[in-house]
A = this chain, B = another copy of it.
Amino acid sequence: MKRNTWQRNAVREALDGTDRFVSAQSLHSTLRAKGSSIGLATVYRALADLAIEGEADSLQSDQGESLYRACTRGQHHHHLICRNCGRAVEIEATEVEAWAHRVAAENGFVAPSHVVDVFGVCGECASDGSAPSLE
C-alpha cells in the first residue's frame, strides 16, 4: 500500500509552486538549498510516480533530460514552453488531435499517439534580455 511521506509531499509542493518544467536534479538541489535532506533517488521516484498518477506532465529536453511540471488539467493537453526559463502554459489542441488521427489512418497506422510541444521565448524573458539571442 502507498505510504504518505514528507519526501513525496515535498516534491509535490515544489512542483505545485512553479509553472515551469524542471529536471529531477534541479528540483533536488532546490530542495537541498532550502535545507531539506531528501535524496536524489527519492526525487526521481516521486516524480515518476506523480507522472503516472497524472499529477505531473513530463517531456524530454533537447539534451534528453526528463523535465516535469505540475499538471493542473484533467483532460489531454499540450504545452507552450519557454526555451529560456522553462515556464509553460497548458494548451488545447483539438484540431491537432484530429489531424494526427487522420494522418495515421491515411497511412495505415493503428493505435496512434502523438508528441506535440510548442516552444518559444516567453514575454518576460524576451523583455528582460535574459534569453540568449538566437544567432
Check A104–B80 contact: CB distance below 8 A. yes
Q: At the interface with chain B, which of A5-13, A28-36, A42-50, A116-124? A: A116-124
Category for how many chain A residues contact B:
20 to 34
A26 within 8 A of B: no
CB distance from A47 to the nearest CB of B (A): 15
Q: Taking CB as reference atom, which chain B residue is nearest A65?
A: B64
A91 touches B103 (CB 8 A): yes
Whether A111 and B123, one on each chain, are in contact in the complex, defined by CB atoms closer than 8 angstroms, is no
Q: How far is A96 from B123 in the complex, measured between Cα atoms in Å? A: 22
For A91, list chain B residues within 8 Å (CB).
Answer: 103, 107
The yes or no answer to A52 lying at the interface (CB within 8 A) is no
Instruction: Find chain B residues with CB under 8 A from A3 CB.
Output: none
Return the contact of A80 from the options B60, B103, B117, B134 (Cβ within 8 A): B103
How long is the Cα–Cα vector from A112 to B120 in the complex, in angstroms? 4
Interface positions of A (Cβ within 8 A of B)? 60, 64, 66, 80, 82-83, 89, 91, 93, 95-96, 99-100, 103-104, 107-123, 126, 134
Per CB-CB distance, the 7 closest pairs between chain A and chain B, nearest first, are A109-B120, A108-B123, A64-B64, A112-B120, A104-B120, A115-B117, A114-B118
